[in-house]
Amino acid sequence: MDEELSQPIEAPIAASPQRFRLKTFTSLRHLDYRYLWTGTLMMSAGQWVQQVTLGWLLYDLTGNSMLLGALNGLRAIPFLVTGPMAGVAADRMDRRKLLLRTQWVLIITAIAMGTLVASPFLHVSHIFVFTLITGVAWSFTEPVRQSMIPSLVPKEDLVNAIALNSGGFNLMKVAGPALGGAMIALFGASGNFFVQSVAYVGVLIMIYLMHIPDNAPDARRASAMANLKEGFAYVWSTPAVLALMILAYVPRVFAVPYQTLMPVFQKDVLGVGPDGLGMLMAAPGVGALIAVLTLASLANRLKRQGLFLVGSIVILGFFLILFSQVRSFSLALATLVIAGAFQMFFLANTATILQLLVPDELRGRVMSLYMLAGVTAHFIGAPSTVATMGAIVIVLAIFVAWRVPAIRSLES
């Protein structure tokens, strides 16, 4: 009799924690992943302080939105040109040495740029050279850091680890621009580059502390060019991965560049100061942070990932159009928060699915492949440009989902 009474009591108690417990921070129990995640916080803080400072500095010097678009294009070029080879390097080279070398480049260039901004010798060309050098360094660093995650956590924590890594980046997307804008208003632009160099020193320390597993030896048995061809061939021959790549380029090309126009909205559309620019740059990060914490908490519970990805892009496009039409600063911030949330829902889910699908020996190359706004803004204005971006994102997302059935069939 006692045994019969105990059965209905014990079963729900055992099942309850597994069903309802949120696992938002479970991957942080792994020491080496904690070092990587802490480095992500400091790396992204430096990046966002730099981005808001460069945009403000360039527009303050020139008042030319075309140059803002050119600066954004220059920042993207290394990911397009050297990015694929950086992915090969991530699969072939000693990843610790690669991370250390690129980190030293970032530290030295940040100090040099801060010195130039503080001097009377600053020229617009210095901003572009600095952006190009740091863009090349980032194009090598990011595929390595992304490809390391599955080596630092067990498979059951991978979804959580990828979401938290995105969360760390976007936490600093909130704090970095806000801090950068406030520091420009209080102390001028040069100090921001020295703050950035300090953040990069912190990343360097995390790399030294981290135990980084060696690469799989398969990639080293062939030439670098053969490795590169293998990466492209894998993407082309795997429908689900190819579909994700095609869809990923829609927001990256037509949506993300809206952030480079924030100095135009700050100064000419909304009429706020440098601290307002920091808030405009930070607002998408607030939404993105909410999104990644939601994803980290839910882990593997989301179903029909493909339709969720397409819906996220469509909603992102809608809120970009809405943002382009508002003239209230508070309403602009609200629309950017929502846009940032759905942008991150898409990006984090795409990265998670790719990490789960792609074999270890190809991960660096595939992630590197995954990694004109200012010109139109000069002629038709920043609001019309962002509205056009939003419309293009919606149309292309629907078109790709219609023409590529593999997208719609993706599930978790």
- Read off the tokens for 62: 């020139």
Residue-by-residue DSSP string for 124-157:
HHHHHHHHHHHHHHHHHHHHHHHHHHHHHS-GGG
pLDDT band of residue 261 (cuts 50, 70, 90) is confident
Instruction: Return the SS3 of 252.
Output: helix
- Mean pLDDT, residues 295-300: 66
> pTM for this one?
0.64
Q: Which of 359, 226, 339 is nearest to 290 (CA)?
A: 339
- Read off the tokens for 103: 């980190």
CA separation for the pair 396, 300 (Å, rounded): 28
Domain covering 28-213+224-409: architecture: Up-down Bundle (1.20)
pLDDT band of residue 5 (cuts 50, 70, 90) is very low
Sign of CA dihedral 233, 133, 69, 320: positive
Please provide the distance, in angstroms rounded to a whole number, between the alpha carbons at the two ends of the chain.
44
Give the pLDDT confidence of 61-83 residue by residue, as tens digits: 888 777 877 787 777 677 666 66
Give the pLDDT confidence of 120-150 residue by residue, as tens digits: 888 999 999 999 899 888 888 887 887 788 8
DSSP state, 220?
G
